[in-house]
């Protein structure tokens, strides 16, 4: 049986984003979920706005791997979206992540 989950797709005249909670990204990708995404997405409070190109594709691919079918609730702005003023997502650089993993492994 396939699970479905609805997400908000927000767009303006030149770009779009998928709105996802940080806790859901952590649930799907683990505590280091930031390493899977780029600085072209945005974050504000408990939400991440995954840009429609690379980051949204990464997210949708993960959903499909887990047997989750995404459904979309579209919201389109006719002017520049305020999302562009949010804080750019701060991804974890792979080298930093790997160093953290090595330190954790040494401690365990």
Range of 41's domain?
A: 3-107
Q: What is the pTM of this model?
A: 0.83
CB 28 within 8 A of CB 37: no
Per residue in 84-95, pLDDT tens? 999 999 877 656
Question: Could you tell me which of 30, 29, 5, 31 has the C-alpha nearest to residue 18?
Answer: 5
In percent, the amount of the chain with pLDDT more than 90 equals: 78
Total domains present in the chain: 1
DSSP bridge partners of 3: 68
Per residue in 31-75, pLDDT tens? 889 999 999 999 999 999 999 999 999 999 999 999 999 999 999
Give dist(CA 60, CA 81) in Å, integer. Answer: 22
Q: What is the pLDDT of residue 18?
A: 98
């Amino acid at each position: 049986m396939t699970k479905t989950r609805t997400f908000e797709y927000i767009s303006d005249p030149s770009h779009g984003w998928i709105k996802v909670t940080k806790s859901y990204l952590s649930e799907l990708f683990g505590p280091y979920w930031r390493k899977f995404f780029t600085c072209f997405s945005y974050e504000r409070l408990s939400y991440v706005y995954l840009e429609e190109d690379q980051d949204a594709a990464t997210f949708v691919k993960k959903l499909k791997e887990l047997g989750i079918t995404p459904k979309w609730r579209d919201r389109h702005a006719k002017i520049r979206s305020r999302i562009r003023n949010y804080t750019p997502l701060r991804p974890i650089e792979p080298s930093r992540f790997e160093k953290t993993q090595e330190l954790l492994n040494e401690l365990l």
